[in-house]
Amino acid sequence: MDGPAFDKSSLVIDVLEPHRIDAAAQARIQAALAAAGVVVIRNLLTADEIARLREHAAMCCEHGFHYGTGGPCVLQPIKSVATRDFHHPFVVSRDAAALATQPELLDAIETYLGEPALIHHALFQHSLPIANAVLDFHIDCGTDKRLNGMIKLPDKRLRAILYLSDVESGGLSVVLDSRAEALKTFLPLPTGELYPQDRVPKDPLRQVTINEKAGALILWDTHNLHRPEAPRTDRFVLNIWFARRDFAGRLPPNLFSLAAVPQAHRDRLYVFESERGFTLSAPARQADQRPPSLMRRFARRLRSAVSL
C-alpha cells in the first residue's frame, strides 16, 4: 500500500491460506473497518483462481463479447471513455460466484453491516491507461440511476474490489475514516452537485493509495471519500457492492448461475436476493418510428423481382 497512513500495518491482512479467514484475521478486519473504514486482504484466493478471473474479465469486457447469443438472453459489455464493464459476473464466472458466497468472507462483511448481506451490484471492469484521473474524491450514495434517478441513499454499504492484475499505478485512493463527515457534507447538497473538493481532508496521514498485487481484496465503506487514480497500464478488477437487507433503493435482479455456486456455499444464496421495486417494461418506441409494414415490404420485393 503506497502513501503514508496511521498504523499502515493495521490496514493490511495476510490470511494464512486461501479461503481461510481465522478468528484472529476476522478480528483484525473488523478493527481496521471500524477505525479506518477500509481493509486490504491478501492471499484469499489461489494464483490459479486469480488467473481464471482475469481471463473471464478480459473475455467479458472485450468489445463484441455476447453471452447467450444462442438463447433468449443476451448480455454484453458497456463501453466508456476509460473503462469496459461487464455487469453480470456471476453468470459467466464460477470463480466470481464462489467468491461472492465465500462463507468466511461473508461473515466479515455481515459483521460490519450488522445483518445478512445482499449484493445490489457487481461487475468485471477493464480500466484503460489514461493520463489523468476521471473522478475526483466522492462517496457512493446512490445506485442504479435508471431506477432511482438522482436519489441519495445513505444506507450502510460495504464495497469489495478484487485486483485481477498487478496494480502498480492507478489504484484506489481512500481518505481514511471520512465516512461520517463526508455523508454529512454530501447529503444536504443540491441534487446533481458533486462533492466539494475543498472539503476533502488534506491531512496526508489520512489519504492512502492502494497499489497492490493481483489477488488483493479491498473492503471499504462506500461513504468513505475515494477515487480511482489514473492507471498507466491496463487494470482488471472485480467489483461487488454489499448492502444490508433493509436497503431502501429499487434494485434490478441479480443474474447468476446456480451451477456456478459451490455446493458448500449454497446456504449463502440469499446474497443474490436483491430484486425490489423492479418492473418489466417494453422498450419505448420513438415517436417517428412505425411498425414495419408487411405489405410495403412485399411490394418492394415484387418490384425488385419484376425489374430483373
Strand partners, 78: 85
The tens digit of pLDDT for each residue in 295-304 reads 555 455 545 5
Q: Residue 7: what pLDDT? A: 67
Query: What is the share, in percent, of the chain residues with pLDDT greater than 70?
Result: 87
Identify the burial level of 242 via C-beta atoms within 10 angstroms of its C-beta, where 0-12 means exposed, 13-18 middle and 19 or more buried.
buried
* Mean pLDDT across 223-249: 94
Given pLDDT bands bounded at 50, 70 and 90, which one contains residue 277?
confident
* Per-domain residue ranges of the chain: 8-307
Is the pLDDT confidence value at 190 over 90? yes
For the segment 115-143, the average pLDDT, to the nearest whole number, is: 92
Report the mean per-residue pLDDT for the chain.
88
| Strands of 235-244's sheet in order across | 12-14, 38-42, 217-221, 157-163, 235-244, 117-127, 83-86, 78-79
Say if residues 148 and 249 touch (Cβ distance below 8 Å).
yes
C-alpha cell recorded at residue 14: 495476510
Fold exhibited by the domain 8-307: Jelly Rolls (2.60.120)
Per-residue pLDDT, 2: 52
